């Protein structure tokens, strides 16, 4: 009876995995589409420029903090920088562990790679960085006019990776979760440090 139950669970799990993979591919195939020089250049540019933005955000916050002698801005710069680095590190390690091939390798002729990527697919490093940046900015400046553009930016980067055919939807979702988690953990850790320093002084 126990063996039958375990077999049933395994079959159901396998069926779920196949359905999830099928949905993953269908969504990607729909977004990826055929070669189209104009949009291809645009989304490739979005993807390429995202790393520069992710680096520029903490550097800009730190620079403004130095100019204005604003310690809180410097702290926010540190938080953002650490979150982005943490997200990138986690994504890199997971890529090595999971070793998921890029969609065009697994499905040649179905998914069209519009840029060349040589590392593994899961999770998306671009999405990890972008969502770490967006979440950090949203936590640092919890105003709608910061939160909305930040996540529009991150979502646009994630979409670009699907359009270019280099990631599955589950890759960018995984990257988004890593980025948001890295930012939240960094934010909470910094908060705890500040609280400890305050307690020691009082």
Alpha helices in 33-111 (DSSP H): 37-68, 71-98, 103-106
Domain boundaries, the chain: 36-201
Q: What is the pLDDT along the chain (202 residues), one digit of tens a residue?
A: 445 444 433 433 443 344 456 889 999 999 998 889 999 999 999 999 999 999 999 999 999 999 999 999 999 999 999 999 999 999 999 999 999 999 999 999 899 999 988 899 999 999 999 999 999 999 999 999 999 999 999 999 999 999 999 999 999 999 999 999 999 999 998 888 776 766 676 5
What residues contact residue 57 under an 8 Å CB cut-off, 6+ apart?
80, 84, 133, 136, 137
CATH number of 36-201: 1.10.606.20
CA distance linking residue 200 with residue 202, whole number of Å: 5
Q: How many CB atoms lie within 10 A of CB 118?
A: 5
Using CA of residue 59, residue 61, residue 62, residue 68, what is the dihedral sign?
A: positive
Structure pTM? 0.86
Angstrom distance (rounded) from CA 177 to CA 160: 17
């Amino acid at each position: 009876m126990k063996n039958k139950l375990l077999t049933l669970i395994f079959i159901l799990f396998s069926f779920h995995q196949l359905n999830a993979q099928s949905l993953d591919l269908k969504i990607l195939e729909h977004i990826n589409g055929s070669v189209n020089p104009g949009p291809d250049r645009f989304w490739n540019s979005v993807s390429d420029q995202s790393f520069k933005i992710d680096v520029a955000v903490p550097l800009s916050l730190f620079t403004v903090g130095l100019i204005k002698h604003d310690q809180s801005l410097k702290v926010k710069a540190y938080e953002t920088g650490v979150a982005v680095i943490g997200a990138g590190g986690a994504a890199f390690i997971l890529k090595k562990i999971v070793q998921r091939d890029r969609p065009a390798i697994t499905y040649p002729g179905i998914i069209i790679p519009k840029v060349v990527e040589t590392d593994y697919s899961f999770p998306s490093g671009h999405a990890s960085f972008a969502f770490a940046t967006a979440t950090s900015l949203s936590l640092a400046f919890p105003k709608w006019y910061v939160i909305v553009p930040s996540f529009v930016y991150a979502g646009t980067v994630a979409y670009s990776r699907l359009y270019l055919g280099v990631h599955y939807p589950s890759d960018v979702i995984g990257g988004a979760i890593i980025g948001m988690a890295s930012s939240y953990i960094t934010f909470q850790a910094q908060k705890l440090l500040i609280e400890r320093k305050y307690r020691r002084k009082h």
